[in-house]
A and B are shown apart, each in its own frame.
Chain A
Amino acid sequence: GAVVSQHPSRVICKSGTSVKIECRSLDFQATTMFWYRQFPKQSLMLMATSNEGSKATYEQGVEKDKFLINHASLTLSTLTVTSAHPEDSSFYICSARKGSVANTGELFFGEGSRLTVL
């Protein structure tokens, strides 16, 4: 199957700093990537849809100025958590779909990035 890689897998930062998480599709091009957040013992919550070359589409309740998403190329999307606070501590997961709009390509997920804000 296709590979989606995230970096870093774990990050610890101080409150008030910004953290960037990268999501790469290693062996396919992804026009669209998705960012999810997952708290302990809970399901994945979709944060935003990242579109190559255009602005991301954020889900209701997700602050676009706090969670900056950039999709500069067909293989890379980044999520920057700005001015992080302890409540932003979570497991962030990206995903990408291999294939065109017309087919039923499966969604490939990255390994996840665990953010801990002190």
Chain B
Amino acid sequence: LAKTTQPISMDSYEGQEVNITCSHNNIATNDYITWYQQFPSQGPRFIIQGYKTKVTNEVASLFIPADRKSSTLSLPRVSLSDTAVYYCLVGFSGGYNKLIFGAGTRLAVHP
């Protein structure tokens, strides 16, 4: 299973765009890249998933370069409620395949 590396922590201010980059040098051909958000004492919540290029949904964008060895989660105009831990996971997302969590990035959004 591909190992992921993310910054341990990041700080931002309300209204700013936040970009969190994840390295996954050993990503396999079948692997997808998925980002989750976790608040204290809650289960992780799905944010976005992609395979290559760019994916955008109502809460975030995911940028994946051609070599797929890294990915960047972009959160536009963060608010205080975006303070959480963000996890980048890499793996084949088919039914039986497990996903391993890395250390995650602790994002703190300040007023």
The reply to whether chain A is a binding partner of chain B is: yes
Q: Which residues of A contact B (CB under 8 A)?
A: 1, 4, 6, 31-32, 34, 36, 43-46, 49, 51, 91, 93, 95, 97, 99-112, 114
Contact A107 B34 (CB under 8 A): yes
B93: A residues at CB distance < 8 A: 97, 103-107
Q: How many residues of B contact A (CB 8 A)?
A: 23
Question: Which of B44, B45, B94, B101 is most buried by chain A, counting CB atoms within 10 A of its CB?
Answer: B44
Contact A110 B43 (CB under 8 A): yes
Q: How far is the CB of A24 from chain B (nearest CB, A)?
A: 13
Contact A93 B43 (CB under 8 A): yes
B7 interfacial by beta-carbon distance below 8 Å: no
Q: How far is the CB of A35 from chain B (nearest CB, A)?
A: 10
Number of A-B residue pairs, CB cutoff 8 Å, is: 71
B36: A residues at CB distance < 8 A: 107, 109
B102 interfacial by beta-carbon distance below 8 Å: yes
Are A101 and B43 CB-contacts (below 8 A) given A46-B101, A106-B34, A106-B49? no
B10 interfacial by beta-carbon distance below 8 Å: no
B104: A residues at CB distance < 8 A: 43
Q: How far is the CB of B99 from chain A (nearest CB, A)?
A: 6
Q: List 14 A-B contacts (CB under 8 A).
A: A1-B46, A32-B95, A34-B99, A43-B101, A43-B102, A43-B104, A44-B44, A44-B101, A91-B41, A100-B94, A106-B34, A107-B46, A112-B42, A114-B41
**B32 to chain A: closest residue by CB:** A104
Q: How far is the CB of B70 from chain A (nearest CB, A)?
A: 19
Q: How far is the CB of A47 from chain B (nearest CB, A)?
A: 10
B96: A residues at CB distance < 8 A: 31-32, 49, 51, 101
Are A104 and B94 CB-contacts (below 8 A) given A43-B102, A112-B41, A114-B41? yes
**A94 to chain B: closest residue by CB:** B43
Contact A46 B103 (CB under 8 A): no
Q: How far is the CB of A48 from chain B (nearest CB, A)?
A: 9
Contact A45 B101 (CB under 8 A): yes
